[in-house]
Amino acid sequence: MKTRELGRTGQQVSALGLGCMSMASDYAYGPSDEREAVATLHRALELGVTLWDTADVYGFGANEELLRQVLVPNRSRVFLATKFGFVADGQGGAMVDVRPERIAAACDASLQRLGIDTIDLYYAHRIDPAVPVEEMVGAMAALVQAGKVRFLGLSEASATSLRRAVATHPIAALQSEYSLFTRDVEAEILPACQKLGVSLVPFSPLGRGLLTNPGPQLAEKDLRRSMPRFGEEVGDANAPLVAGLHQLATEKGISTAQLALAWLLSQDEHLIPIPGTKRRKYLEENAAAVEVELSALDQQRLTELLAAHPIVGARYGEGALKLVNR
């Protein structure tokens, strides 16, 4: 597995990470399978995919506890990222709470569930307009000083919030949705990351599966049911784009997922995608994308394809979109 530097930290991490959200929660892309998830984590170690991404809200702690099984006996081989900021709302959902007074407790709880002494990369899962970024990052910086966290990150933050955060304490990474289907970050966020020396960590780099399966059958609790791109009214609107990507990938002898990931990896040398999966076969397919080289003609054809078939449907519903700091 190739590696890339995380921001300007000097820390090398796998060029492709592993999003672990779906491993221990049925609401994320269908029923979970703990046995297969654990096997996938072991396989990730074998492949050198050692940047693992989770959050305290995934399964409300269950995801971190699952990772513990493989993380603890292999601590030196894993660069572990987790997030805080969502808390249970008492109605089966979650709300944002990044008040400085609760950050230390959130970190301690994650450390206990993960069974480790230090979190490698600690993200604020969302920006709360009611909490000054400087105060939130200041409380996060105290965790670095205490030795509980090595590096800090933000998730779904605007370029303005990122600049304010960096002025308070070094930020190693900004996690945002970025894929052939979602390119909003190219306007302001990616340039800001490049200027500030912050790694952009794209989540959902395969469009939550839509890039590889335009008409997935969704389980009852699947969170994608709340996303407009997966609504029945959208129908087959995005199918021509997926078909074109599949054709280009087939001509190169690779999968559509590998094409999409190779395209992302080519956008910037400090960009580190974290495709999520809970199955070994998809992990292996994704990991192979780091070896795919796209020619100038490939890039041109992708540009033309995207221009001819604009994506239909918003990436989030109205409520979730309000939580994205722009």
Query: How many other C-beta atoms lie within 10 A of the C-beta of residue 304?
Result: 11
Name residue, tokens 């000083």.
145
**Strand 119-124's sheet: what is its strand order?**
18-19, 51-53, 79-84, 119-124, 149-155, 173-177, 199-203
Q: What are phi and psi of 18, to 5 degrees?
A: -130, 115
d(C-alpha 25, C-alpha 43), whole Å: 20
Task: Tally the C-alpha atoms within 13 A of residue 136's C-alpha that lie toward its C-beta.
Answer: 30
* Residue 58 designated active-site: yes
Q: Is 87 helix (H, G, I), strand (E, B) or coil?
A: strand
Q: Is 296 helix (H, G, I), strand (E, B) or coil?
A: helix
Choice among 29, 58, 122, 178 that is catalytic: 58
d(C-alpha 69, C-alpha 88), whole Å: 25
**Residues noted as catalytic:** 58
